[in-house]
Amino acid sequence: MDGQAVRRSGGRDVGEPLALSLSAVEVQYRSRRVLRVESLQLAAGSTLALLGPNGSGKSTLLRVLALLERPSAGSLTLLGEPVRDGEGQRLALRRRTATVFQDPLLTDQTVFDNVAMGLRFRGLGAGQIERRVGQWLARFGVGHLAARRARSLSGGEAQRVSLARAFVLEPEILFLDEPFGSLDLQGREALALELEAILREARIATVLVTHDRGEAQMLADQVAVLLDGRVAQCAAVRTVFERPATPAVARFLGVENLLPVSRTGPDEVRIADRVLPLALPPGMARALACLRAEDVHLSPEGTPDAPGSVRLTATVVHVVPYGVPYRVHLDAGVPLIALAAQRTLDRLGVAPGVRLVASFDPGALHLLESDAPDPPLPVSHRPG
């Protein structure tokens, strides 16, 4: 993994302290190991997204980091302190953090009392409590709900109150476990945008659990992709999304095209029926080329070659109205997916059986070592 966290606003400051780090952490339930993380770090003031499918170990890892669950093995350092077994130290460290879950977990009190609860436990005076609670309720757009009972709130309102309750504590580390999971799309996007601005301003070290790639890109500086209880890749956001480390990571991140590549010479490879001037790493005879569907452009047969582009003659297999734009599945000697707007489909007369040219810039390719013994068959040759 990358040893240095990268801020949205730039690189990590030299000598910046770590908010947390762990080494060789394992979690077992009975005799089954559900998590094994060799190394992970979070710099003070930066945000790490734990991204992965359901059951990949994201929430388990967050509970370990937040000292809500003890690992079966390994070591953890939080806020400069090696975490020991004693409950007193663990409780003292937890008081320097705050956690927000998918379920807001509000008590049957007023909104104000819910947000003030942690400050009262810490013994703050009434004036200071009123000032800080009012500030954070207003920051999350729910100041007008201060006197309302929590049970009368909508899901979005309740989650905003839950976030205010966490930020009012001024934590040194913030843990967010799927904080938008219970909201509809519009509410999720609106709250994520607000939270992004707040995290940038507050500069609180944050660990975010999500299965949503867009949330990770919006909110995080670093992304750790968890697959089957292990960190498959951890790096700066742009690195992870543009250069996935393995085919499994690429598939999870939504790379639609993994094209089989074979070496044909020292500095050339074959993709489908085209030979390209690309070099495979030494010792790698075959690879997979990651190519995102948005980088594949469709044009009619006979269109003049664009300088430097790779052109594959393709047959439309089917068109999937998967939101906007549409996903166009092609047989170009290898299965290929392109994205196209409705106007493009109409202009090209795209329909099953239509012949087109699929082109892309070779710079859009990211080569990975193949994880399959043989390249996949073309779509048209697959049974069924």
| Domains defined along the chain, listed by start | 18-96+171-249 (3.40.50.300), 255-379 (2.40.50.100)
Counting residues of the chain whose pLDDT is more than 90, the rounded percentage is: 73
Rounded CA separation 293/95 (Å): 46
Residue range 184-243, pLDDT digits in tens: 888 888 999 999 999 999 999 999 999 999 999 999 999 999 999 999 999 999 999 999
Asked if residue 88 has pLDDT above 70, the reply is yes
Q: By C-alpha distance, which of 236, 247, 350, 342 is closest to 290?
A: 247
Residue range 38-47, pLDDT digits in tens: 999 999 999 9
**Res 285: pLDDT:** 79
Using a CB cutoff of 8 Å and minimum separation of 24, what contacts does 271-277 make? 271/310, 271/312, 271/334, 272/312, 272/332, 272/333, 272/334, 273/312, 273/333, 274/310, 274/311, 274/312, 276/310, 276/362, 277/362
Rounded CA separation 130/126 (Å): 6
Least confident stretch, 78-82, 168-172, 250-254, 276-280: 276-280
- Report whether the peptide linkage leading into residue 325 is cis, meaning its omega lies within 30 degrees of zero: yes
Beta bridge mates, 174? 98, 206
